[in-house]
Structure 1
Amino acid sequence: MCLSANNATPDRIAEGLETIEVALRRIDYWEVEWPEPEALQSRQPFCVNTLTFPQWLQFVFLPKMRQIVEQERPLPAVSGMAPMAEEFFRPEPVTGQEVIDELARLDQLLSNQ
């Protein structure tokens, strides 16, 4: 179901997407090369069987959300990205807190809370 959350203006969403990219680059979880096309075809949520969570953000979520914003299409009602990020970063050598915080902000904006 798609809806346009009142607080989720395209500019705020675009800014959040940029913040996520910058944060991933800062903690060195941004990849130079794209994964194999098959990895992007996963039917599992967040491509958990083919990509790491940061890879999913970089190669699936960010491009799709940027396209939605640029084409002025309805924003999806999204929830649960911040908890996924928390789970991913829990055992990692970096906290990923900036990524988690921005995903939580986007979750809130998009779910109109």
Structure 2
Amino acid sequence: MTVAPRVLEIADHLLLIERELQVQGWWSDTAPSDVAMASTVPFAVDAMPFEQWLQWIFLPRMKQIIEFGQPLPNASGILVMAETVFASRAEQSRELRRLLAAFDRLIAPSA
């Protein structure tokens, strides 16, 4: 099975996002509760910080999509959420926001 170069680029990019979460100290060894993980609210804002959502929901779901060859999402607006969440930590979150902006561009069908 041949993997499209775009898919490989997205997979590599997910690893960069994971690494930046670790660099910033926003990576957790403790998973959110089952109740938090079951949140149906966008970005699980009712149940966990955005950094946890990235680690425990976004990254695993995207990796699963890639691993099983499922269709990629047609769009991503993750940067908009990151800009809101990190407004008070603009300097510290600069690289993560840059990576999320690049992810939004990569996931777009025209990428």
TM-score, length of structure 2 as denominator length? 0.88
Which residue of 1 is the match for residue 71 of structure 2? 74
Count of aligned pairs between the two proteins: 107
Report the RMSD for the aligned CA atoms in angstroms: 1.7
Q: Which runs of 5+ in 2 are unaligned?
A: none
Distance in 2 (alpha carbons) for counterparts of 1:60 and 1:32: 14
Q: Assess, with a 3 A threshold, how the Cα gap between structure 1 residues 8 and 47 changes in structure 2: closer, same or farther.
A: farther
Q: Which runs of 5+ in 1 are unaligned?
A: 1-6
Residue 12 of structure 1 pairs with residue 9 of structure 2? yes
Residue 61 of structure 1 pairs with residue 58 of structure 2? yes
Deviations 1:47-90 (A, max 9, x none): 01001111100000000000110111110123210121111111
Shift of 1:93: 7.7
The 8 Å contact of residues 75 and 109 in structure 2, kept in 1 or not, is answered as no
Which residue of 1 is the match for residue 21 of structure 2? 24
Distance in 1 (alpha carbons) for counterparts of 2:5 and 2:97: 18
The residue identity in structure 1 corresponding to 2:68 is Q
The 8 Å contact of residues 8 and 110 in structure 1, kept in 2 or not, is answered as no
- Which ranges of 4 or more aligned residues in structure 1 deviate by more than 6 Å? none
Shift of 1:102: 1.1
TM-score, length of structure 1 as denominator length? 0.87
Distance in 1 (alpha carbons) for counterparts of 2:53 and 2:9: 21
Which residue of 2 is the match for residue 84 of structure 1? 81
Percent identity, aligned pairs only, is 36
